[in-house]
């Protein structure tokens, strides 16, 4: 196997931190945390507030994976990408294409209520308003695609840090099919379609 480059190692490091934030967000969202006076999370309104803060943080971490001033998945060196299996290249392309679709609203959120906070109320309101511009499956697609990308990358490159799992080709193929299904759902159901569904189920 080839030696892992510093660029790939730092991208993978940031991706793993992003996965951890994603786990924390979904744990709070799905009420998998203890709530009550005997716990750190004292009451339900606090759980809801923490859930939102974790979502903002999660979006900020997604941004950081494509940050032009830091690690940037879209700027992986050609000599790294060219050595990957076709599946890995395709997964990377899907992640990059999906990012382009949500880059503007994610950047607004990150710069106004996320890693940075707008000094004006209008800026904060603009940040909150950007949620409606993000397809709810878009970040899920990016995470799945990058997960498959790194799985393929580490078939070619020897990671500096030991991997927690070593997925089989069959497991990778299953993930690939999940990616295509998620991508198809995004193409079939627009943000407005989903908003209408939510309104019908909650209205």
Listed by start position, the domains of the chain span 2-202
pLDDT bracket for residue 17 (50, 70, 90): very high
> Could you tell me if 144 and 182 are in contact, meaning their C-beta atoms sit under 8 angstroms apart?
yes
pLDDT bracket for residue 202 (50, 70, 90): low
Contacts of 2 (CB under 8 A, 6+ apart): 83, 156, 157, 158
Q: What is the pLDDT of residue 27?
A: 97
What average pLDDT does range 25-30 have in this prediction? 96
> Could you tell me if 202 and 194 are in contact, meaning their C-beta atoms sit under 8 angstroms apart?
no
What average pLDDT does range 66-88 have in this prediction? 93
At residue 114, the 3 state secondary structure works out as coil
Residues 103-158: tens digit of each pLDDT: 999 999 999 998 889 999 999 999 999 999 999 999 999 999 999 999 999 999 99
What average pLDDT does range 33-40 have in this prediction? 97
- Which one has a higher pLDDT value, 198 or 66? 66
């Amino acid at each position: 196997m080839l030696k892992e480059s510093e660029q790939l190692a730092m991208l993978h490091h940031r991706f793993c931190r992003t996965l951890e934030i994603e786990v924390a967000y979904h744990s709070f969202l799905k009420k998998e945390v203890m709530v009550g006076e005997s716990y750190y999370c004292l009451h339900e309104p606090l759980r809801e507030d923490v859930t939102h803060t974790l979502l903002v943080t999660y979006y900020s971490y997604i941004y950081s994976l494509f940050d032009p001033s830091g690690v940037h998945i879209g700027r992986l060196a050609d000599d790294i990408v060219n050595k990957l299996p076709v599946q890995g290249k395709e997964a990377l392309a899907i992640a990059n294409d999906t990012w382009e679709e949500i880059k503007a609203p994610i950047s607004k959120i990150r710069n106004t209520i996320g890693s940075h906070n707008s000094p004006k109320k209008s800026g904060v309101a603009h940040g909150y308003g950007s949620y409606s511009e993000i397809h709810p499956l878009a970040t899920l697609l990016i995470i799945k695609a990058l997960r498959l990308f790194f799985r393929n990358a580490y078939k070619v490159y020897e990671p500096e840090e030991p991997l927690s799992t070593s997925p089989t080709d069959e497991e990778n193929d299953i993930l690939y099919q999940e990616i295509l299904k998620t991508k198809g759902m995004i193409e079939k159901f627009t943000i407005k379609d989903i908003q209408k569904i939510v309104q019908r189920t909650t209205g």
